[in-house]
Every structure is written in structure tokens, then in C-alpha cells.
Amino acid sequence: MTDAPDTPAPEAPEPAPPAATGPLVSVRGLTRQFRLPSHFLALKKPKLQALGGVDLEIDRGEAFCVVGESGCGKTTLGRIVMGLLGPSSGEIHFGGTRIDRLSESQRRPYRARMQMVFQNPYASLNPRRSVGQTLAEPVRALIPGSRAEEVRDRVIDVMETTGCAPDWADRLPHEFSGGQRQRIAIARALVTHPEFVVADEPVSALDVSIQAQILNLLADLREARGLTYLFITHDLGVVRHFGSRVAVMYAGRVMELATTAEIFARPRHPYTQLLLSSIPKLEGGSFSKERPASEPPDITRAQAGCPFAPRCPIAGERCRREVPKLVAAGAARCACHAVEEGRVAA
Amino acid sequence: MSALLEVRDLRVAFPRGRSDEVFALRGVDLSLKRGERLGVVGESGAGKSMLAFAILDLIQSPGRIAGGSIRFDGQNLLAMSEREIRRVRGKRIAMIFQDPMATLNPVLTIGRQMAEALEAHGRISEREARRRSVEMLKAVQVPQAEARYDAYPHELSGGLRQRVVIAIALLAEPEIIIADEPTTALDVTIQAEIMALLLRLCREREVGLILITHDLAVVAEVTERLMIMYAGRCVEEGPTSEVIARPRHPYAAGLLASLPGHTEPGARLTQIPGSMPPLGALPEGCAFRPRCEHAYARCHLERPELEPDLPGRRVACYLPLGGRT
């Protein structure tokens, strides 16, 4: 895949002090296409629509979850918010300032304030750097003018708060287990004292008993440091446990958005309902009803209508023609004609 | 009724250095009755996949089966020649792996691969092979089965590929299917489709199932009996619903309590401290002892054996939760 973002505009406003009110992060009309590999003479360059227009607002202190299956665009969303990828169109605001068109030097202060934890702690840590060096790096890079003892104090402090033993500082990543590495990755994300952390499947590569350790750590840090999370996951159990609000994504769009309690108590969108009824449960019952084989959505073709319509048991003619908008439905927001028309209880 | 598959004290060793060995399986028992569904649960490195590979004699050199016995339908699999074991493996005992592409050949059509599975049973005409294959594709609910028969694996989604793998496994009319994390790579909605299908087919055809997974909830949905593995041994065994409702081994209880989404939202998850020790550096006594809050002097000195506990259950612990029976 080749990246094809807009070229960022050279001029942009000075970083503003964080606004005390309003959402910490807001995303408006975000789209992103990827060019797919094709013959260089091909007349039609195939494209993949990873995000098809996403609007989100994340308030301070939230653990905002984005849940969805592979290819739904959740990772692309996280990377665009972090500035690791450019959007094809749309805006990203952080603390009231638009940040998606900033130059790299203008963006740097924001990089200290927003950090990321990746899924695979085996790939995200430099194998040739000691833990101490790994943790000092973001401070040196993002907080220019830090004196050596300031860097050291920050590293010691962050290791303590994330449960890294002091003697880890001189050791290399390969000496640690997956759970320990993820602790180090979290420490690295927090060493610049960010307000906002994007965590992309941070526990998916870990064993169950280790997942609990990391989820507890992330929850403690949210409390202790007043962190705001954008938590990207495919695991609804993690969402239910960890999330304050959740956006359910499908084929690059938000299908439903509500508080976590609301989603689990009253799923409205047929896709959310399918997702929840598919979770295996300790008390059983999720695999007792057989369903016909379904195909994942084809995001390489322009969609007419709702992307879920081909799999939807209640899709009507309008669903195949017109893309539903994310609109208020009871205590949630839902992108479904059936819900909007009252065919499904809101 | 005697068991169809009976594994006793199975040990698998890998060399370490010149004269030393590390045991990936340290004496595992397993028994499966005809048509029974057994779940094998554990974290990575617990030995659950090793158990499946050992049963099918698929341990790659330099690893070796270092002891124990595997009896299938009265015959000792470990005493069989490679030729004899081929008549069992993939036929009377079929396998489904996590990655369907590990089973499917990318350069052959689905139909060609299904026909091969049928030919292994004896000569069969091309027409008959096609008829039976398409019928099986329909049985596993592959849409447009006729067209898919001529398709290549890469033209199918992950979920459909896994359905094809199940279809190929069933063509041999196996008595047991060993499924190693069959839905771990799939999305949750596709997992539900595949597992519901596998569950129905096993029930209808009275095929035994050994389901190997890290996911306790999947095991709870599908199996009748459950084994929980830790560091190359089984630490608890019993009827699935009973073990889940009332785990006896502290590790089993810790695993269940640490599952997010099954407890009060936002409450602290119970965490098992530390992590599973590497197989080459197991502690003396009980392997779980360093992580166990109930451990006492005896756990440091002696290794608890898997012993009968509550009716139909076994546990390897000196202090099972809820007290000794």
C-alpha cells in the first residue's frame, strides 16, 4: 500500500495552551484511502477506503474505546490521530487546536502530549537499546533542553509508576517477557507526561493472566495521571471492562456510539447486536445458533448504501442505496436506517 | 465404556546443550471417549499444542517423545511404523490448525485438494470426487459450493478457508478432530459461525473433538470436559461447566477471575502475579508455586500429582480451593 495524504500546509497556528473546556480530541469527517498495488499502466488505480468519514469527540479523562473487526479502520484511525499517517481529508483537533496540518517542528510539542502504545511489544522496542535508553529517548527528542538529571529523574519516576523494577534500566528488551515488555512500552509512552494515549490492541498479544496485569496498570495510570485514552481493540470483554464510551466501527465507518454500559445493555445497530451475540460466554449459548457463512466487507469497492447491508438480516431497499448517517437514537448515536425509521427500537 | 484415545504419562523433550534436555510435556494423561468433546486450555508455552503434535507423532526433531503411551482404539500409536501411523493421522484423527493456509496448498484448487483427501481412501472417479466434495462444501455451508470447488484458497476469505479445512477433515470421516486454536485468527463474528458449525457437525456425526485454545469462553461454549495445562502438565481436569463454576486449582481460578468482561466493569481485575516460568527453569516442587498465594512449605518441596478430587474431577494441588475432599 502506498500512502497518499494531502501535503500538509506550511503555515499553521502556534500551539495554543490546552483549552480547559471542550473535548480533548476531536476528529471531523476523517477519510483515508490507500492505493493498492496495480500495474503501472493500469487506467484505474484500485483504492482501498480504510476510513469513510469518521467524527469523534473524546473528552478529558475518558477511556474511549474503538471496537471492530479486522479491516474496520480502527488502527488507521489511531495512527491518523497520532499523526503517524496523514488523513485523505478531514480534521483533527487537540485541545482546541487543529493539528493535522502542522509541520513536523510545529507538531513536536503535541507529540510529547499525545503518545502511543502498540500491540506487539516484541516489535515496538529497539532490541539494541537498554530500557533506560529507550525511556530517555522520548524526553530528549520531544522536550528539548532537558538536562541530564531531569531526564534521569523522569525515567526513574516513570519506571516506578509503571511497575518496572529499577534494575531493568541497564537490561535489553530480549531479557523480558511479553508482559514486562508491554510495561516498558507503557513507561516509554508516559515518560513525556502526555495527557492523551492511543493504545492499539495493547493486551492482544499477551496471555490472559498477563492481560489482567496490564489492564489494571492502564486503569491505575488513568486515575493517577488523569490520562485520556483512545483504546483500540477487537475484544469486547476488554471494552466492557475498560471503556467509558465506545464506537463500534465497520468498514471504515462508525456504526454506533454510546457509553459502554448502554452498548452492552441496549445494542441498537444490527451489527452491534451481531457482535455482542458472537462473543463466547462462560455460561455458553453463543455458538448454539448456526449462521450462514458471511463475507467480510469489500472496502476496495465504492459502497452504495450501508456497508453492513449485505450481512444485515433486516436490510431494506434504502439500506442498499443510501449510506446511513450517525444520528441520535435514544441514549446512543447510531448509523442505521432501520433504527432511524423506527423498525428497530431506539 | 473404554476410551477411544488414551494418553498416559506423555513426555516430550527437547535437547538443551550437549547433554541436557528440557521437557515441554512433563507427564500428561488424556482420555477421550467416542464422540466426546474435550477442551485443552493453557497459556503460551503450557504445552497444549505440543500435546496435539505428540498425539499425531508430529514432533519435529530434535524434539522427541521421551516417554508414556498413546493408545487409539486399542493400538499403541507410539509403536507404529510411519506407514501405519499415516493410516491414522489425517484420516481417523484429523487436524485443524489456526492458520488454514498451513493445511491448504496455495497452488492447488480447493477441489483438487478435496479429491486428494478422498483418493487417500481408495480409487474414486473424478465425477464422484466432485460430487462428494461439493456435497461436503455444502454441508459446511460454503456459499456457491460448485464455483468454490474450482477456486484457489487465496480467492476465499479467512472464514471460508477454515470452512474448507473442516470440509477436508470431514471427508476422511474421522473419529476424532484435533483443532488447535481453529478460530484464533478469525474475527469474533466469524469465530461464532465456525464454532457453531464445528459443534453441530461433531454432534451429528459423533466425531470426538480435542479443542486446544487459550480462550476459556470458547471451551465453555463447545466442550463437555476440560483440561487446564500449566508448564507442561495438566493441573486440573473435569466437566467443563463444573470446573468453570468451581475451579479447584489456584491457577484455574486465577485465569477465570482475570478475564475482562466477566466481572464488574471497571473493578480491578484479579491478576496472577508474575508469569509462567520458562520450561528450562522450573522451580522445585509445584511449577505454579512462585505465583500462588496459597503456597506453603510442601509446595516448595514436592510436586503435586494430578489426583482424583470431586466426583469426575482431578486436580494437582495440595490445597485445592474450597478444601480437600
Rounded to whole angstroms, the Cα distance separating A35 from B114 reads 36
User: How far apart are the C-alpha atoms of B211 and B224, rounded to whole Å?
Assistant: 11
Please indicate if any CB of chain B lies within 8 Å of the CB of A279. yes
- Whether residue B62 is preceded by a cis peptide bond, meaning omega within 30 degrees of 0, is yes
Chain B, 15-44: which have a CB under 8 Å from a chain A CB? 43-44
pLDDT of A1 higher than 50: no
Give the residue carrying C-alpha cell 488507521.
Answer: A76
Helices (H) and strands (E) counted in chain B, each on its own, are: 12, 12
- State mean pLDDT over A11-32: 73
Cα angle A263, A264, A268 (rounded to 5 degrees) comes to 50
Contact B191 A280 (CB under 8 A): yes
Contact A211 B260 (CB under 8 A): yes
Q: Which residues of B touch A69 (CB under 8 A)?
A: 187-190
Which residues 70-129 of A are in CB contact (within 8 Å) with B?
A: 70
**pLDDT value at position A346?**
67
Inter-chain Cβ pairs, chain A and chain B, closer than 8 A: 146
Give the mean model confidence (pLDDT) for residues B180-184. Answer: 92
The answer to whether residue B152 scores a pLDDT higher than 90 is yes
Between chains, do A240 and B260 touch, taking CB under 8 Å as contact?
A: yes
Domain limits, chain A: 22-38+45-113+194-281, 128-192
Is the pLDDT score of A12 beyond 50?
no
- Looking up cell 479491516 gives A71
**Is 70 exceeded by the pLDDT of residue B202?**
yes
Is the minimum CB–CB distance between A295 and chain B shorter than 8 Å? Answer: yes
Q: A78 exposed, middle or buried (CB, 10 Å; 0-12, 13-18, 19+)?
A: buried
Q: Which residues on B lie below 8 Å from A280 (Cβ)?
A: 191-192, 195, 215, 217-218, 220-221
For residue range A53-76, list pLDDT tens digits in order: 999 999 999 999 999 998 899 999
The confidence score (pLDDT) of residue A57 equals: 96
Q: What is the 3-state secondary structure (H, E, C) of B284-297?
A: CCCCCHHHCCCCCH
- Determine whether the interchain pair A212/B141 forms a contact, defined as Cβ–Cβ distance below 8 Å: no
Window 127-186 of B: residues touching A by CB (8 A cutoff) are 141-143, 157, 159-160, 163
Question: In this predicted structure, what is the pLDDT of residue A61?
Answer: 94
Q: Is A37 exposed, middle or buried (0-12, 13-18, 19+ CB in 10 A)?
A: exposed
Query: Terminus-to-terminus CA distance in chain A, angstroms?
Result: 39
CA distances from B27 to B7, B174, B282 (A): 10, 27, 15
Sign of torsion over alpha carbons A126, A128, A134, A140: negative
The pTM assigned to this predicted structure is 0.89
Model confidence at B73, pLDDT cuts 50, 70, 90, reads very high
| Chain B residue numbers touching A219 (CB-CB < 8 A) | 266, 268
- Most confident residue range from A3-12, B78-87, B201-210: B201-210
User: A107-143 pLDDT, tens per residue?
Assistant: 989 999 999 999 888 889 999 999 999 999 999 999 8
Higher pLDDT, A245 or A6: A245
The stretch B153-170 carries a mean pLDDT of: 92
B195 CB neighbours in chain A (<8 A) are 280, 287
- A22-38+45-113+194-281 placed in CATH 2.60.120.200: no
B272-321 tens-digit pLDDT: 988 888 888 899 999 999 999 999 999 999 999 999 999 999 999 999 99
**What does pLDDT average to over chain B?**
92
pLDDT at A5 over 80: no
| Nearest CA among A136, A235, A54 for reference residue B188 | A235
